[in-house]
């Protein structure tokens, strides 16, 4: 097969971390090729949440972790303008459950919010969102896409050689943004050991043609968020699950929780259920940065891939260019 010469940098994976990294490198003047295996990736099976406040409160995160998520959100402002991604800054709301506990956590972490004790509702303007389909399309502009699946890589002199179903590719630098996929054949041992730490987590969502909400509404067991002309109901977090076939029982439970959150009587809806598998590291933060000469990781953001995309991209791009990481907390070698 003929060689598809990437000239500079090859990003393997076309989810949010891969495309954000490719877009950031292209902005900096690099020639970037993205190996896109096709199909519906986990970044498309998502609501596009950029939600440091709610994520920090729901998971009771430490101040340092919450601060990192806030920096991830802040990185989106300039990045979205530069890449053409549309940001939705409408408020996000929490209804029911331990809402008072969440309000206390937000206050302790310094997130702006309004708490209506009588109504049992919590609202914040600190959380944003994107439309995954629009965002992925915008991020792909300005980078070269190679449609195919990477199968193996090896060192070829001072360059990397990646075997793909569309033919071999050589590059000076390679970024692995392969989600929860199995390690590529030929991956150096140190990198393979790091990838082995990533746990697959299945998430299921439902796409609804009817617009049930005008802004994100969360609550125990479900959220409902605007999506296009309709909305999306989500989402499960099923550690260790890899099946891409939606589970009717879990979807029914999520739908029931959504009706409760909305305080509406259940009624028939036309719903397209989807499942995607994302990766998570042991500490819940992504691996972003170098793991060897010319080899970098952008992996394992748990459910915060959209939130942390531009921040991860900036970290990886800096290290590709020989700069020290601005976020050493994300360094892959923290696990070695």
* pLDDT, tens only, 143-197: 999 999 999 999 988 899 999 999 999 999 999 999 999 999 999 999 999 999 9
User: Is residue 157, in this structure, part of any structural domain at all?
Assistant: yes
User: Is residue 173, in this structure, part of any structural domain at all?
Assistant: yes
Cβ 236 vs Cβ 221: under 8 Å: no
What is the band of 14 on the pLDDT scale with cuts at 50, 70, 90?
very high
User: Is residue 274, in this structure, part of any structural domain at all?
Assistant: no
Distance between CA atoms of residues 8 and 160, nearest Å: 10
Asked if residue 7 has pLDDT above 80, the reply is no
Distance between CA atoms of residues 129 and 215, nearest Å: 10
pLDDT of residue 4: 40
Asked if residue 1 has pLDDT above 80, the reply is no
In tens, the pLDDT along 82-140 reads 999 999 999 999 999 999 999 999 999 999 999 999 999 999 999 999 999 999 999 99
User: Is residue 70, in this structure, part of any structural domain at all?
Assistant: no
In tens, the pLDDT along 17-75 reads 999 999 999 999 999 999 999 999 999 999 999 999 999 999 999 999 999 999 999 99
pLDDT of residue 217: 98
Query: What CATH number corresponds to the domain at position 291?
Result: 3.50.50.60
* pTM for this prediction: 0.96
User: Is residue 127, in this structure, part of any structural domain at all?
Assistant: no
Cβ 33 vs Cβ 9: under 8 Å: yes
Asked if residue 6 has pLDDT above 90, the reply is no
Asked if residue 2 has pLDDT above 60, the reply is no
The CA-atom distances, in angstroms, between 14 and each of 41, 99, 179, 222, 286 are 8, 37, 9, 27, 16
Work out whether strand 159-164 and strand 169-171 pair parallel, antiparallel, or are unpaired.
antiparallel
Q: Could you tell me which residues come within 8 angstroms of residue 178 by beta carbon, excluding any fewer than 6 positions away?
A: 12, 13, 150, 184, 299
In tens, the pLDDT along 273-317 reads 999 999 999 999 999 999 999 999 999 999 999 999 999 999 999
- Structural domain span for residue 16: 4-43+135-198+282-335
Distance between CA atoms of residues 277 and 204, nearest Å: 9
Q: Residues in the chain, how many? A: 336
User: Is residue 325, in this structure, part of any structural domain at all?
Assistant: yes
User: Is residue 52, in this structure, part of any structural domain at all?
Assistant: no
* Number of domains composing the chain: 1
Cβ 326 vs Cβ 314: under 8 Å: yes
For residue 134, cis peptide bond before it (omega within 30 degrees of 0): no
pLDDT of residue 336: 85
In tens, the pLDDT along 188-210 reads 999 999 999 999 999 999 999 99
User: Is residue 59, in this structure, part of any structural domain at all?
Assistant: no
Distance between CA atoms of residues 57 and 74, nearest Å: 18
HSE (side-chain half, CA atoms, 13 Å) at 14: 27
């Amino acid at each position: 097969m003929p060689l598809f010469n990437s000239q500079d940098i090859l990003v393997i994976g076309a989810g949010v971390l891969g495309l954000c990294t490719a877009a950031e490198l292209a902005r900096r003047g690099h020639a970037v090729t993205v190996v896109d295996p096709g199909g519906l990736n986990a970044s498309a099976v998502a609501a596009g949440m950029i939600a440091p406040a709610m994520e920090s409160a729901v998971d009771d995160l430490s101040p340092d972790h919450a601060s990192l998520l806030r920096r991830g959100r802040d990185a989106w402002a300039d990045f979205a303008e530069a890449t053409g991604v549309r940001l939705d800054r409408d408020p996000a709301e929490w209804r029911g459950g331990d809402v008072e506990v969440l309000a206390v956590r937000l206050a302790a972490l310094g997130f702006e919010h309004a708490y209506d004790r009588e109504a049992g509702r919590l609202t914040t303007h600190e959380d944003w969102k994107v439309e995954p389909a629009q965002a992925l399309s915008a991020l792909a502009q300005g980078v070269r896409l190679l449609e195919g699946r990477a199968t193996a890589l090896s060192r070829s002199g001072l360059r990397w050689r990646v075997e793909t179903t569309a033919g071999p590719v050589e590059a000076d630098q390679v970024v692995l943004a392969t989600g929860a996929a199995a390690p590529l054949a030929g991956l150096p041992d140190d990198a393979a050991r790091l990838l082995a730490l990533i746990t697959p987590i299945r998430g299921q969502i439902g796409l609804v043609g009817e617009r049930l909400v005008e802004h994100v509404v969360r609550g125990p067991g479900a959220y409902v968020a605007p999506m296009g002309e309709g909305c999306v109901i989500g989402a499960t977090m099923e550690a260790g699950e890899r099946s891409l076939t939606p589970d009717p029982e879990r979807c029914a439970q999520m739908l029931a929780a959504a009706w409760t959150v909305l305080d509406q009587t259940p009624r028939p809806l036309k719903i397209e259920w989807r499942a995607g598998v994302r990766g998570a590291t042991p500490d819940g933060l992504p691996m972003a940065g170098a793991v060897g000469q010319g080899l970098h990781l952008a992996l394992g953001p748990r459910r915060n891939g959209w939130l942390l995309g531009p921040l991860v991209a900036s970290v990886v791009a800096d290290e590709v260019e020989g700069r020290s990481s601005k976020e050493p907390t994300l360094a892959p070698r923290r696990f070695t």
